[in-house]
A = this chain, B = another copy of it.
Amino acid sequence: MTKEDLTNCYDRIKPYVHHTPVLTSDLINKRAGAELYFKCENFQRAGAYKIRGATNAIMQLSKDQQQKGVVTHSSGNFAQALSLAAKSLQIKAYIVMPSNSPKVKKNAVLEYGGEVIECEPTIEARQTSANHIAKTTGATFIHPSNNLNVILGQGTSGLELLSEHPDLDYIVCPIGGGGLIAGTALAATYFSNHCKVIGGEPEEADDAYRSLISGKIETNSSANTIADGLRTHLGSHNFPIIKKHVKQIIRVKESEITIAMQLIWERMKIIIEPSSAVAFAAVLKDKEAFKSKKIGVIMSGGNVDVNNLPF
């Protein structure tokens, strides 16, 4: 994917997504010993960066495809994002969700206009159900992270960040399914001279870290992390981009995620979800390496169940 692909994508989706603010905090900078620029995708529509990729993927479909709608399986932010993106573009969204998904998540999808289809809570059932819907309705399946148009869309957050702060030394972002970091890596490649993209990943779901070492896509046998957005693994479309452009992934412990999250809440007075805290925790983890550097940190989202916090 070229620089022009990314620029075109940005121009395409701009009317449908927020240009999110970049926040800074003297206190946090002091604590980190570096200059941090927080890209606040927690303020994005539907509360996470995911709407960028969802919007681009839908807009790249043909008129005929759009008329038949889109389908995905997700119990997280992509479910809400695809629903809202589809609503904005006046097309239909089918969202396959495991039957044990929290009611609050189902309601969020319904509120954004998505149609919820429940299935057994297994990966196989989710895929079978999504395939069935695609077949019977003609809807196009949109993968939450392993889709080139989704990856381009997610890269527009980094593009915005670099357009305001072109001299960043690093961008650190969470790594889950790989869509965000692949897109961000493309943005850094095309829109900066020297900015390196680094991933933050929970130790409890360090498939991407292991994938970079082994050179093939690894999975997690378990994923006991509060960063629920990062339990997934990389895909065939984003892994080659990540392999080429991302040279480092920093793993963090659960306690480090919680501490980082609480620090942001208390000091910056903004709500970020655990997955976002992983990126900031990674910066705190490797303070020596980041000392006095200019670092963009992508706050991927702010969808948290405030009735069930880790602190």
- Interface residues of chain A, those whose CB is within 8 Å of chain B, are 21, 42-43, 47, 262, 265-266, 269-272, 302, 306-307, 309, 311
How many copies of this kind of chain does the complex include?
A: 2
The residue that A270 contacts in the complex, of B266, B269, B306, with Cβ under 8 A, is: B269
Q: Are B269 and A306 in contact, CB atoms less than 8 angstroms apart?
A: no
Q: Which chain B residues border A270 with CB–CB below 8 Å?
A: 269-271
Task: List 19 A–B pairs whose Cβ atoms lie within 8 Å, in order of A's numbering.
Answer: A21-B21, A42-B269, A43-B269, A47-B269, A262-B306, A265-B271, A265-B306, A266-B306, A269-B270, A269-B271, A269-B272, A269-B302, A270-B270, A270-B271, A271-B271, A306-B309, A306-B311, A307-B311, A309-B309
Instruction: Note all chain B residues with C-beta closer than 8 A to A272.
Output: 269
Of all chain B residues, the one with the shortest Cβ separation from A27 is B111
Docked complex Cα distance between A272 and B269 (Å)? 7
CA distance A311 to B269 in the complex (A): 17
A207 to B271, CA, bound (A): 33
Smallest beta-carbon distance A114→chain B, Å: 16
Among residues of B, the one whose C-beta sits closest to the C-beta of A269 is B302
